[in-house]
């Protein structure tokens, strides 16, 4: 029997039945998120980001959620209507990245050297100004998005490279060549979904009200 499309589920069922890895696999086939999918995914990311952050040692869950937030951000349309969600998802990425770095710092052994580290560094060095898009780097080396993100995370922790977000794109730069970026008009404080804070006090995300049971 074929499993139902995750987005056909009520958000509460989606949160309960779909692990982050399952959700990531589901949205990989999409070209762009529509409004219904964004609304449901927004509630899902809110709930699961909090869940993973509260787990003491779930490094794999953190990595999966990072990939999911990044892909959701990239698949959201570049419209004023989608902007608040994209900002929230980017804020979730920052929280998860902080958790990932803390877990790595707490590890008793240093991170193992990944096989493609040298190839990744050589590729960045050969790029104009020692800087290139993360997507282009993955394509050039024939690596998956998750694999390149894992390698770059280790290289960043060791001070070899720096990752920067510019609009909808992620850029990688050699640490000694980090450019100074002048932003013409910095956005106001990134809105973080209030339901994360509300969740701590036992309140249900208000967005669920728009989806009938």
Element (H, E) at 128: none
Q: Which of 92, 99, 4 shows the shortest CA–CA distance to 48?
A: 92
Q: What is the mean pLDDT of the chain?
A: 79
Phi, psi of 208 (to 5 degrees): -65, -20
Whether residue 23 is contained in a domain is answered as yes
Same domain, 10 and 100: yes
Contacts of 189 (CB under 8 A, 6+ apart): none
- Cα–Cα distances (Å) from 158 to 110, 153, 162, 174, in that order, read 10, 9, 10, 12
The answer to whether residues 98 and 173 belong to one domain is: no
> Considering 90, 109, 128, which residue would you say is the last residue of a domain?
109
Same domain as 57, residue 133: no
Q: What percent of the chain has pLDDT over 70?
A: 76
So what's the pLDDT on residue 208?
58
Q: Which of 56-60, 142-146, 180-184 is the most confident on average?
A: 56-60
Of 78, 109, 140, the last residue of a domain is 109
Residue 203 has a pLDDT of: 42
Whether residue 180 has pLDDT greater than 60: no
- The reply to whether 61 falls in a domain is yes
**Range with top average pLDDT, 42-46, 107-111, 167-171:** 42-46
Answer yes or no: do 66 and 78 share one domain.
yes
Residues 102 and 134 in one domain: no
pTM of the model: 0.54
126 and 172: one domain? Answer: yes
119 lies in which domain range?
Answer: 111-180
> Which residues, in sequence order, are bridge partners of residue 132?
172
- At 184 the pLDDT is 45
In-domain check, residue 1: yes
Assigned domain for 189 exists: no
For 133, phi then psi, to 5°, come to -70, 140
* Boundary of a domain, candidates 109, 139, 171: 109
User: What is the count of structural domains for the chain?
Assistant: 2
Q: How far apart are CA 88 and CA 152, in angstroms?
A: 23
């Amino acid at each position: 029997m074929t499993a139902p499309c995750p987005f056909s589920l009520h958000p509460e069922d989606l949160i309960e039945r779909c692990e982050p890895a399952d959700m990531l696999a589901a949205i990989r086939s999409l070209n762009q998120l529509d409004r219904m999918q964004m609304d449901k995914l927004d509630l899902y990311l809110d709930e699961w980001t909090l869940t993973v952050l509260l787990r003491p040692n779930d490094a794999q869950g953190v990595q999966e959620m990072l990939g999911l937030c990044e892909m959701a951000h990239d698949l959201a349309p570049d419209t004023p209507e989608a902007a608040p969600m994209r900002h929230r998802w980017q804020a979730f990425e920052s929280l998860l990245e902080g958790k990932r770095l803390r877990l790595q710092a707490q590890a008793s052994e240093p991170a193992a050297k990944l096989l493609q580290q040298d190839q990744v560094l050589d590729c960045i060095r050969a790029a104009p100004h020692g800087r290139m898009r993360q997507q282009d780097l993955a394509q050039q080396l024939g690596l998956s998005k998750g694999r390149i993100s894992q390698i770059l995370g280790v290289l960043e922790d060791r001070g070899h490279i720096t990752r920067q977000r510019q609009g909808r794109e992620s850029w990688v730069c050699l640490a000694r060549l980090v450019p100074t970026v002048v932003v013409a008009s910095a956005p106001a404080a990134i809105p973080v979904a209030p339901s994360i804070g509300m969740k701590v006090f036992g309140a249900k995300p208000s967005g669920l009200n728009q989806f009938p049971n």
